[in-house]
A and B are shown apart, each in its own frame.
Chain A
Amino acid sequence: EAEVAQSPRYKITEKSQAVAFWCDPISGHATLYWYRQILGQGPELLVQFQDESVVDDSQLPKDRFSAERLKGVDSTLKIQPAELGDSAMYLCASSLALANTEAFFGQGTRLTVV
């Protein structure tokens, strides 16, 4: 069964360090999402791609977060510098197309900033 792959599963980093997460969506899925899920909360959208283009990054803290999907397939989310408040689960999801509402999530990367 096709899955959204994310790595690493867990990451511990020190405050002010840089950290990066990787996502490989389901093959053929044009739309890719990065969500942040704080413990006890629902996922919140950070950035949305259609192929290699950013469709929505209005909730991405651009002073420290960046995201790219250079070839329209896999994607990287970076935080530099990391802050204590960035500790959360970072989830990647994909769907066939922008207008396709069924999103499939990966297992996420659990980030702990110490």
Chain B
Amino acid sequence: QQQVKQSPQSLIVQKGGISIINCAYENTAFDYFPWYQQFPGKGPALLIAIRPDVSEKKEGRFTISFNKSAKQFSLHIMDSQPGDSATYFCAATTTGANSKLTFGKGITLSVRP
């Protein structure tokens, strides 16, 4: 059973456009939801994260929107740039003594110049 599901599988956006990546989770015990960015040949790097006590978090061009009742959260990349082309993973975890991340399958974003 896949506990964290991402959509779409791939995304192509023009430079300056908005990239939107969605994620749905199963486990209602999850209470920390990060997004990771991974470039080819590199390990994932934390981009932005949210906890369920807020519905939105913004850091620069990156925004997470969170819908607790729907068990969904999404990443919005404003003014998308070619340098944003990467694979993006949503993840989820419980916090506390045995915190461990469960990742989605990832989506490949290509931003065209």
Contact = CB atoms under 8 A, between A and B. Distances in A.
B89 interface: yes
Contacts, number: 63
Contacts of A93: 43
B97 interface: yes
A93 B100 CA distance: 11
Contact of B98 (A4, A44, A55, A100): A55
B95 interface: yes
A100 B94 CA distance: 10
Contacts of B46: 102-104
Interface in B28-47: 32, 34, 36, 41-46
Interface of A: 4, 33, 40-45, 48, 55-56, 91, 93, 95, 98-108, 110
Interface of B: 4, 32, 34, 36, 41-46, 49, 89, 91, 93, 95-106
